[in-house]
């Protein structure tokens, strides 16, 4: 499912929003996504659309696997954290995201 979630994420960000994903990594309960977006993009709408569409795909494609875990009518939590970066290099951000799935 992790690979499929990344594919879906790339498709939504690129095809629907013309955003470029720089790096993506998942943990058990959340994603880290570094992406570039045009200034005209309303980021709250992008995130809401991403959550809605990705949830639909994942719940449909992995219904049997998810059945014991997701008894609620939603896949994602309603919250999100969105940060802009200006001082850190792109390599620093990529490294941070890549290391999210490593044991601490």
pLDDT, tens digit, for every residue of 12-40? 999 999 999 998 988 777 888 999 999 99
In terms of pTM, does the model score above 0.85? no
Torsion on CA atoms 83, 72, 29, 90, rounded to nearest 10: -30
Alpha helices (H) in the chain, listed in sequence order: 2-11, 43-61, 63-66, 90-98
Q: Write the CATH number for 53.
A: 3.30.70.1290
pLDDT at 92: 85
pLDDT at 104: 55
Range of the domain at 45: 2-101
Number of domains in the chain: 1
């Amino acid at each position: 499912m992790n690979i499929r979630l990344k594919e879906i994420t790339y498709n939504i960000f690129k095809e629907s929003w013309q955003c470029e994903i720089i790096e993506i990594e998942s943990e058990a309960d959340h994603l880290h996504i570094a992406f570039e977006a045009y200034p005209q993009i309303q980021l709250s709408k992008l995130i809401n659309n991403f959550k809605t569409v990705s949830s639909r795909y994942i719940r449909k494609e992995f219904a049997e696997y998810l059945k014991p875990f997701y008894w609620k009518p939603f896949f994602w939590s309603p919250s999100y954290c969105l940060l802009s970066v200006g001082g850190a290099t792109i390599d620093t951000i990529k490294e941070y995201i890549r290391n999210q799935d490593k044991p601490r």
